[in-house]
Amino acid sequence: MNCISDMPTLFVGHGSPMNALERNSYTDAWRKMGEAIASPRAILAISAHWFIGSTILTAMSRPRTIHDFDGFPAELFAVNYPAPGLPELAGEIAELVKPEWVGADIDQWGLDHGTWSVLAHMYPKADIPVVQLSINALKPMEYHLRLGARLAELRKRGVLIVASGNVVHNLRAVDWRNRRGGFDWALRFDEAAKELLTTNPGDVLRLLEHADFDRSVPTPDHFIPLVYTAGLAAEGGSLETFVEGTTLGSISMTSYSTGTERRSDAS
């Protein structure tokens, strides 16, 4: 596989942790994307599931696999994704985003299911180093958009950025009988997001004014990874969807990429 000058950036609608074990149209798209991208130096993961009161990077050499969920089959709790860490990348990112402060976690967190449920399909050998960035719950949306833009330099340094969340994520509205569809309000918001993100990703925060935002995004944790992706794309490039769809009525699985128009063909 030939090298590319810049690594792509992805936003992946990760949905249920069970996607780590299942084969479906979404996981097939993640697998194909991994096959199509030249091997990165490392992966920076931004997961909805590390939503805390600070901006932190994992900086351990062997991040543990975190099973941050309940009520799923034992088979899912047995999943291990033993990708190495890359502490020097954590330090590199901390320097890159100054004057914003980013801390280093050497022993507390690791890779949660927002990260490993996706990477298990993209890079099943778990041989690419992974560093995970927390989402600072105390910061406004503008902070995350700005920080995403500052991370754009990493693409030139061989780092694949994978942000993992969902455009629409309302667990209280889930309809377990509706495996392949979405409520009208979820479809409207998903479509509005696509129209904006594929034309002017830097204006992503206009979605906060959409009539269906509060129902589609009752909590910000799964939406903020999309804001990072939009900030990255606004620094050069455009976003395009690489898989679309909704499930359980109130979960969007739509996923975006930027920079993939420059990727090499899979070998």
Which residues is 58 bridged to in the sheet?
105
Check which CATH number belongs to the domain holding 124 and give it.
3.40.830.10
Please indicate, yes or no, if residue 267 is contained in any of the structural domains: no
pLDDT digits (tens, 9 = 90+) for 166-201: 999 999 999 988 888 999 999 999 999 999 999 999
Quick: pLDDT tens for 201-237: 999 999 999 999 999 999 999 999 999 999 999 987 7
- SS3 annotation, 3-72: CCCCCCEEEEECCCHHHHCCCCHHHHHHHHHHHHCCCCCEEEEEEEEEEECCCEEECCCCCEECCCCCCC
| Domain assignment of residue 1, yes or no | no
Q: How many domains does the chain have?
A: 1
Supply the range of the domain harboring residue 239: 9-262
The 10s digit of each residue's pLDDT in 1-53 is 333 458 999 999 999 999 999 999 999 999 999 999 989 999 999 999 999 99
Q: What is the pTM of this model?
A: 0.94
178 in any annotated domain: yes
In a domain, 2, yes or no: no
